[in-house]
């Protein structure tokens, strides 16, 4: 199911982005 894979990838990117933002602060 491609849609599911893309959704999981997007969620993972968001988690990584939030993690990086915490490091920036």
Looking at residue 18, what is its pLDDT? 92
- For residues 1 and 23, which has the higher predicted lDDT (pLDDT)? 23
Cα 17 to Cα 1, 2, 3, 7, 22, distances in angstroms: 25, 22, 21, 15, 9
Structure tokens at 11: 């969620």
**pLDDT tens readout for residues 1-19:** 556 666 677 888 899 999 9
Q: Length of the chain in residues, anyone? A: 25
């Amino acid at each position: 199911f491609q849609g599911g894979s893309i959704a999981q990838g997007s969620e993972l990117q968001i988690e990584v982005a939030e993690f990086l933002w915490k490091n920036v602060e």
